[in-house]
Chains A and B, each alone.
Chain A
Amino acid sequence: MKVLIVDDASPIRKIIGRMLTSMHLDYVEATHGKEAMTQLNTHEDIRLILLDWHMPVMDGMALLKWMKTAGLSVRPKVIMVTTVNTENKIESAMELGVDEYVMKPFTKEILEEKIMSLGFSGDKNVQ
């Protein structure tokens, strides 16, 4: 199983990537929604997406909408990881099927906790 990090900021992808490695989780990256679509079509074992909201080309909301109709064989879980932090925006993301929501800035512990609460924690995972 793999995690897909979708964020246009490479430092954020790096930080999250390091964190996932320390949790023994494999990951691939995308810098916006379009790239994420390609990754999802290439790697059928993506089970979790860490998704930024604002990105060039195609943003997080657009990717969520695409996922609803894309007919993926398994719908990955999605954690939004974004600076967008207003109640109604969070609500609208949850309505599009987001499973968890992390507001930036976040600590490693917070993201780790959310990832684990969705049942992902390294080698113990069901593939």
Chain B
Amino acid sequence: MVSKEMLQFYFKLLYQESGLLLDESKTYLIESRLEPLAVQEGFDSIEMLGHQLMQTGNRSLREKVVDAMTTNETSFFRDSPAYSVLREVLIPGLLASNSASRKLRIWSAACSTGQEPYSLAILLSEMGSMLDGWDIQIMASDISESVLIRAKTGVYSQHEVQRGLTAHQLLRHFTQVGLTWQIKPKLQELVHFRRLNLLSPFSSIGQMDIVFCRNILIYLDTKTKQNVIDRITNLLAPEGVLFLGGTEGLFGLNTSLVRVDEKKAGFYKIKNSFYPDKQGDVPDIKRRRVCQT
């Protein structure tokens, strides 16, 4: 059993470091995820691990605690309508609006073990010659070092590749290595992984046309969410799009983003790029088309 005081210490540490908000109802999560770490680091208990952290503030140990507490559930083409709307509507639109620079910048902001950015790479590679000559970069980041190490290898288990990939995609974009499947180098080259905490400044990564920030806001409180969304909005290109997880929204936040629902997918755009003179309006896609033509 972990003492109340120690639980509070861990809750505070996690909130400060990653924005993860826990309370006593999640004690089991602390226990089940930190016990293996405590053992691995040579402590008798979570309590002892905590005392060490309190006394030394050991940076790498703090990071390991944060890492152990992250939920990394993900899959290829998760919430697939997002990918369909990108392929059918949004990327063709971005190719038109970026035709001068011929650059496309994509960010998977909590990429976990890499299925999300690699799905984007697969999607782009399947769009064929319309992207020839384009400078495309997919940046993929996560707070957790251990998921990034896995993501960079591009190697997935049989179970992982069966979730979300069609058999054709598997054969076309992966090579079998023993019992695992390795993504092909051409796709791997499109994705640049780096460690990035969404609570820390990230404006230096530059302007983005497509941002995936999926299944991470659910772990954050309103204040942290607001902060992260504001800073993502700041680096979104005028015609850029933001995708959240299938069950996430910006409810209760004050933003200059509007939700658009199209082809069974929901995404967000900066208000002004829809209606120069109709701020605050809820956009409806038919009128948007009328506006543009």
Contact = CB atoms under 8 A, between A and B. Distances in A.
A107 B162 CA distance: 10
B98 interface: no
Contacts of B167: 90, 94, 98, 100-101
A82 B162 CA distance: 13
A90 B158 contact: no
Given A94-B168, A98-B167, A110-B163, A87 B175 contact: yes
Taking each of B159, B166, B167, B179, which has the highest tally of chain A beta carbons within 10 Å of its own beta carbon? B167
Contacts of A107: 159
Interface residues of A, number: 17
B2 interface: no
Interface residues of B, number: 13
B285 interface: no
B162 A117 contact: no
Taking each of A86, A87, A117, which has the highest tally of chain B beta carbons within 10 Å of its own beta carbon? A87
Contact of B162 (A87, A91, A103): A103
A102 interface: yes
Contact of A91 (B158, B159, B163, B171): B171
B176 interface: yes
Interface in B165-222: 166-168, 170-171, 175-176, 179
Closest 4 CB pairs of A and B: A101-B167, A87-B176, A110-B162, A100-B167
